[in-house]
């Protein structure tokens, strides 16, 4: 499940920005808007996916249906070149896919005996799926260089569609996870929202929002940044180079997280994750040597796992049992939803500000998320006091 869930996302998300910028000729703001659509759908996801899985249908049924329909839509999207048509279809697809980001976490955690010990070992297969998708796309493009029959402009979307169709069938083999029939409140998301009364939970949500806005500078702008002449990554090798970030995720998820989280607790582990962001963006801003820029992609493992994955573990510990799916959907709303929604447009807007003709001042672009992630780290250190992972 985790492998396919993130293979779908990893097939189109890293490479789409380069495709629509260099092949379709979209502007920075148009690029930002396209990347806003999945976050926009994530704003709706808690009211759709979490509610359906917590109250009405088995979780595996919900996942199966939306992945199959989404796969069909992705295949159609791979043939679209008009901006407005692609935007509408991307919004429709995003509404289908976004609930599964929280539901796959929820179905795993419900069926695991020891979440703190085992979830990282399960979630790492999502990282392997992302890597597998990137390597598959690079292999596809490498074959296309010598054989025109493999050339397909929208290859990144077509590959995602194929993975999505496979997962539509695979989800039916997942453990049966029925809705909670004994819940006192039929509106699960409202119960999850009440968790904001807890001071530490509220602080976590606010900091997660800030960090998730700056995450989009990586997802939206890294691909076009790496193929610039100064860095020199080829288009065919782009997704393979970017997969370094996911290789680092494997190391952090499978080896570092099970050791660091129980020993140092949620607060210190997440702080390490936050501070890894400005280190990487500073290297991006300097922009040389090229090997150091490429090597800094590995910091993504610490950035993402130590912050976002640990936040998911914290939410599962803090949430009442009958609203766990909706609680996971709530943090997805704040990070993958509102945070990434604003961050996508913000990243595209900042890129346009620092663009003069065909020249982009990448130093100026990446100084912006550097400053904001440092601010997030300072606020988190000062305000977040909960260390319940260390007490477990």
| Residues 39-86 pLDDT 10s | 888 777 656 555 554 556 678 888 999 999 999 999 999 999 999 999
Note whether 207 and 335 are within 8 A (CB).
Answer: no
Highest mean pLDDT among 67-81, 170-184, 375-389: 67-81
Short-list 125, 51, 19, CA closest to 328:
51
In a domain, 320, yes or no: yes
Q: What is the pLDDT of residue 363?
A: 94
Q: What value does the mean pLDDT of the chain take?
A: 84
Paired residues of 355 in beta bridges: 360
pLDDT in tens, 332-376: 778 877 888 899 889 989 999 998 887 889 999 999 999 999 999
Please, what is the Cα angle at 246 between 240 and 249, to 5 degrees? 160
Short-list 65, 328, 61, 316, CA closest to 189:
328
149 lies in which domain range? 2-175+187-391
pLDDT in tens, 180-200: 554 444 455 566 677 777 788
Q: What is the pLDDT of residue 390?
A: 45
**Of all helices (H) and strands (E), which one includes residue 359?**
strand 359-360
Compute the CA torsion angle 360, 79, 127, 323 (nearest 10 deg): 110
| 211: CATH | 1.20.1250.20
In a domain, 182, yes or no: no
Short-list 20, 323, 352, CA closest to 153:
20
Q: What is the pLDDT of residue 50?
A: 52
Structure confidence at residue 392 as a pLDDT band (50, 70, 90): very low
In a domain, 180, yes or no: no
Q: What is the number of structural domains in the chain?
A: 1
Determine the Cα–Cα distance for residues 226 and 233; give it in Å rounded to an integer: 6
Contacts of 227 (CB under 8 A, 6+ apart): 18, 22, 233, 234, 235, 238
**DSSP helix/strand/coil, 106:** helix
In a domain, 110, yes or no: yes
**Of all helices (H) and strands (E), which one includes residue 370?**
helix 362-383
Helix/strand/coil percent split, the chain, to 5? 85, 0, 15
Q: What is the pLDDT of residue 47?
A: 60
Q: How far is CA 102 from CA 160, 203, 348, in A?
A: 19, 20, 26
Does residue 178 register a pLDDT over 70? yes
Count of positions (residues) in the chain? 392
In a domain, 181, yes or no: no
Please, what is the Cα angle at 376 between 373 and 378, to 5 degrees? 115
Determine the Cα–Cα distance for residues 31 and 72; give it in Å rounded to an integer: 23
Q: What is the pLDDT of residue 6?
A: 94
């Amino acid at each position: 499940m985790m492998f396919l869930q993130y293979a779908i996302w990893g097939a189109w998300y890293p490479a789409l920005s380069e495709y629509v910028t260099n092949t379709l000729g979209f502007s920075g703001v148009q690029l930002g808007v396209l990347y806003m659509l999945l976050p926009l759908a994530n704003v709706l996801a808690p009211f759709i996916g979490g509610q359906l899985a917590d109250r009405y249908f088995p979780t595996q049924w919900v996942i199966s249906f939306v992945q199959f329909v989404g796969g069909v839509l992705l295949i159609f999207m791979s043939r679209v070149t008009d901006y407005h048509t692609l935007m509408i279809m991307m919004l429709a697809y995003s509404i289908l896919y976004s609930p599964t980001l929280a539901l796959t976490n929820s179905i795993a955690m419900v069926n695991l005996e020891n979440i703190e010990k085992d979830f990282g070992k399960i979630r790492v297969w999502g990282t392997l799926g992302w890597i597998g998708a990137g390597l598959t796309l690079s292999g596809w493009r490498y074959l296309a260089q010598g054989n025109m029959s493999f050339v397909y402009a929208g290859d990144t979307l077509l590959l995602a569609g194929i993975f999505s169709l496979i997962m539509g069938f695979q989800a039916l083999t997942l453990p049966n996870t029925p809705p909670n029939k004994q819940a006192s409140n039929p509106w699960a998301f409202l119960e999850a929202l009440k968790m904001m009364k807890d001071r530490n939970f509220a602080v976590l949500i606010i900091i997660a929002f800030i960090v998730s806005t700056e995450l989009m500078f990586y997802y939206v702008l890294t691909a076009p940044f790496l193929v610039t002449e100064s860095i020199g990554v080829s288009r065919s090798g782009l997704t393979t180079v970017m997969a370094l970030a996911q290789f680092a995720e494997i190391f952090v998820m499978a080896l570092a997280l099970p050791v660091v989280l129980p020993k140092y607790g949620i607060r210190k582990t997440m702080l390490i994750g936050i501070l890894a962001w400005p280190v990487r963006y500073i290297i991006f801003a300097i922009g040389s040597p090229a090997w150091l820029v490429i090597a800094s992609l590995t910091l993504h493992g610490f950035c993402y796992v130590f912050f976002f994955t640990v936040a998911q573990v914290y939410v599962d510990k803090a949430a009442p049992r009958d609203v766990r799916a909706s609680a996971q959907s709530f943090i997805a709303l704040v990070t993958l939803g509102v945070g990434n929604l604003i961050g996508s447009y913000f990243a595209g807007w900042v890129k346009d500000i620092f663009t003069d003709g065909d020249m982009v001042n990448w130093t100026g672009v990446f100084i912006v998320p550097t400053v904001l992630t440092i601010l997030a780290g300072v606020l988190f250190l000062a305000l977040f006091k909960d260390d319940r992972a260390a007490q477990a």
